[in-house]
Structure 1
Amino acid sequence: MFRLSNLIKTTLEESPSRTLNGSIIIWNMTNRCNLLCHHCYSKADANEKETLHFEQIKQTIPKLKKAGINFVIFSGGEPLLRKDIFDIAQLMKENDIITYLSTNGLYITPKNVQHIIDTFNYIGISIDGIKEVHDFFRAQIGSYEKAIQAIKLIQTYGGNAGIRFTLTKETQSSFYAMFDLVEKLNVNKFYISHLVYSGRGEENLNIDISKERRREYVEFIIQKAFEYYKQGKNIDLVTGNMEMDAIMLLKYFEQHYPEHTKTLYKKLTQWGGNSAGNRLGNMDWLGNVKPDPFFPFTVGNYLENDFENIWSNTQQPLLKRLREYPRQIEGRCNDCNYLEICNGGSRSRAFAISGDLWREDPSCYLSESEIRRRDNETI
């Protein structure tokens, strides 16, 4: 997760950046879902049966805290399909774990909206384009209107939901219109996720955009972030699953704000790029623990071994190598001067294309000349 707006603001104002105190876990507590989204990494659908029981979750929560997990994103499937979702969140609070909700919004109603706002520190609702695009991509007519209604309902009750958007060939026609929607709805966070090849996303490699279009969109996102900052708009732009965006921001600063470049460079190296297996992890509905939700391999099962033993194991080979900084990545990353900023990007994409976890991220859109700094160039 690259907090673009926060970095612009704190760099230009020479103030501390927002930092993550502890690790964050994305917990897929169910694989049941009322939608059939084309990019779904868990291949969730309505016919899945509940496999993870409340008592198993209850016993696991204290072990998360012992392992340094301070944030949990409730995900799925659709997490609001669990009838015990609020009881689980309350247990998290009792263990001083901050909770976020990632939802399609279709189960947010006047009856539960206040409870949702009071329970979760952040609510992210997925909208993948204008009406026709979203409904096609998520395979249900009317899902767009229901998601919009959910955002408005949350706002009416005093909350503020953010929008999550996944950038693919099927959704890119709505890319620019999404910013108009964000401004019209006055949401305070817009999360733009790049596609990772996993689940149905792996089966649909052909829905990913070209590197040229990706670069065009990232440049626009950066320009928008500066525009919102200068206008004093409280819209936080965040990108996900494409750590090379940070290098693009650095290059923008080099051109337009050279006096702040060193400050930004320091912030970016402190951020450290891709953090799968380190500050980010995933737990699924079968008990599997993975470095991130898209990862092709597991590092243990929290139903068979305490989570703290899995996550805190400094000798687990995969976790050990993922936690190296910067990571040792082959291919063009091996000669890149910005590896300590992006940390190699997505290992899941690398594996999906090359069969090797430690090859370059195939979605990197930076040119050879850009990743090699001239000998007389310093930061």
Structure 2
Amino acid sequence: MFRLSNLIKTTLEDTKSRTLNGSIMIWNFTNRCNLSCHHCYSKADANEKDTLTYEEIEQTISRLKKGGVNFVIFSGGEPLLRKDIFDIAQCMKDNGIMTYLSTNGLYINEKNVDQIIDTFNYIGISIDGIEEIHDQFRGQKGSYKKSIEAIKLVQAHGGNAGIRFTITKETQDSFYAMFDLCEELNVDKLYISHLVYSGRGEENLEIDISKEQRREYVEFIIDKAFEYYKDNSKIDLVTGNMEMDSILLLNRFKKQYPQKAEILEKKLKAWGGNSAGNRLGNMDWAGNVKPDPFFPFTVGNYLETPFDEIWTSNENEILNKLRQSPREIRGKCSNCKYIDICNGGSRSRAYAMTGDLWQEDPSCYLTDDEIRR
């Protein structure tokens, strides 16, 4: 996760960057979902049944802190389909863990909106394009209107709601419109995710955009982040699954704010790029623990081994290699002067395309001339 707006603000104002103390876990509590999104990494659908019991979740929550986890993103499937979701969140709070909600918004209504706001520190609602594109991509007509209504409802009740958007060939025609929508709704955050090849995303490699298009979009995102900063806009821009975005921001600073470039570079190195298996992890409804939601291999099962023993283990080869800083990555990364900033990008994309976890990220849009040591 690349916190673009926060880095611009703190670098230009010489203040401390927002940092996360401890690991973030994306926990898929269910694989049930009322939608059928084309890019879904868990292949969720409405016919799935909940297999993870509250008792199993409760026992595992008590081990999260021991494993260094301070933040949990509630995900799925659709997490609001679980009837015990608020009990789970309260258990998290009782154990000193912050909770974020990632939802399609269709189950947010007048009856539960206040409880959702009181329960979760942040609410992210997925919008993947203007109405027609969103409905087609998410597999349900009318879902766009319901999701927009959910955002407005959260705001009307004093809550924090942001938009989550994934760039693909199917959604890219709405890319620029997403900024207009955020400005119109005055949301708190726009999280723009790059596609990772996993789940239905792996089956739909053809829906990914080109490197040239990706770079063009990222340049626009950076432009917008500077614009929002100058206008004192509250819209926070964040990108996900493409740590190379940080290099474009650094290059922009070298041109526009050369006196601040060294400060930013230090912040980026402290951030450390892709953090899968270190500051980021994933837990699913079957007990599997993975370095990120898209990762092709598990590193343990929390229903069989206590979570903290899995996450703090020094004996897991995959975790050990992921936690090297910088990682030892082959291909263009082996001669890249920015490896200690981006950390090689997505291992999941590398494996999906090459069968090698430690090969270069195939979506990297930086040129050989730009990265040569």
Aligned-residue offset at 1:316: 0.9
Aligned twin of 2:307:
307
Aligned-residue offset at 1:160: 2.1
Aligned twin of 2:46:
46
Aligned-residue offset at 1:314: 1.4
Deviations 1:265-314 (A, max 9, x none): 00000000000000000000000000000000000000000000000101
Aligned twin of 2:13:
13
**Structure 2: how far apart are the matches of 1:122 and 1:155?**
12
Aligned twin of 2:346:
346
**Structure 1: how far apart are the matches of 2:7 and 2:154?**
27
Q: Is 1:91–2:87 an aligned residue pair?
A: no
SS in 2 for 1:212: helix
Aligned-residue offset at 1:48: 0.3
Aligned twin of 1:152:
152
Q: Is 1:222–2:222 an aligned residue pair?
A: yes
**Structure 2: how far apart are the matches of 1:54 and 1:182?**
36
Deviations 1:160-218 (A, max 9, x none): 20000000000000000000000000001000000000000000000000000000000
Aligned-residue offset at 1:39: 0.1
**Structure 2: how far apart are the matches of 1:220 and 1:314?**
41
Aligned twin of 1:271:
271
**Structure 2: how far apart are the matches of 1:22 and 1:257?**
31
Summarize the alignment of residues 241-320 of structure 1 with structure 2, pairs less than 5 Å apart. Answer: 241-320=241-320
**Structure 1: how far apart are the matches of 2:314 and 2:25?**
18
Aligned twin of 1:22:
22
Aligned-residue offset at 1:372: 1.7
Aligned twin of 1:142:
142
Shift >3 Å, 4+ stretches? none
SS in 1 for 2:125: strand
SS in 2 for 1:50: coil
Aligned twin of 2:110:
110
**What code does the residue aligned with 2:192 have?**
I
Aligned-residue offset at 1:15: 0.4
**Structure 1: how far apart are the matches of 2:315 and 2:217?**
40
Aligned residues: percent identity?
75
SS in 2 for 1:251: helix
**What code does the residue aligned with 2:215 have?**
R
Deviations 1:27-79 (A, max 9, x none): 00000000000000000000001110000001000101111100000000000
Q: How many positions carry a matched residue from both structures?
A: 373
**Structure 1: how far apart are the matches of 2:69 and 2:289?**
13
RMSD of aligned residue pairs (Cα, Å): 0.4
Aligned twin of 1:376:
none
TM-score computed with the length of structure 2 as normaliser: 1.00
**Structure 1: how far apart are the matches of 2:332 and 2:65?**
38
Aligned twin of 1:4:
4
**Structure 1: how far apart are the matches of 2:27 and 2:232?**
34
**Structure 1: how far apart are the matches of 2:83 and 2:12?**
45
SS in 1 for 2:358: coil
Aligned twin of 1:211:
211
**Structure 1: how far apart are the matches of 2:299 and 2:123?**
29
Aligned twin of 1:167:
167
Aligned twin of 1:121:
121
Q: Is 1:36–2:36 an aligned residue pair?
A: yes
Q: Structure 1: 5+ residue runs without aligned partners?
A: 374-379
**Structure 2: how far apart are the matches of 1:361 and 1:307?**
29
Deviations 1:83-127 (A, max 9, x none): 000000000000000000000000000000000000000000000
**Structure 2: how far apart are the matches of 1:188 and 1:76?**
23
Aligned-residue offset at 1:315: 1.8
Aligned twin of 2:236:
236
Aligned twin of 1:56:
56
Deviations 1:235-275 (A, max 9, x none): 10000000000001000001111000000000000000000
**Structure 1: how far apart are the matches of 2:23 and 2:215?**
29
**Structure 2: how far apart are the matches of 1:340 and 1:260?**
19
Aligned twin of 1:73:
73
Aligned twin of 1:377:
none
**What code does the residue aligned with 2:129 have?**
G
TM-score computed with the length of structure 1 as normaliser: 0.98
**Structure 1: how far apart are the matches of 2:173 and 2:300?**
40
**What code does the residue aligned with 1:252 have?**
R
Aligned twin of 1:326:
326
**What code does the residue aligned with 1:89 have?**
A
Aligned twin of 1:198:
198
**Structure 1: how far apart are the matches of 2:89 and 2:314?**
29
Q: Structure 2: 5+ residue runs without aligned partners?
A: none
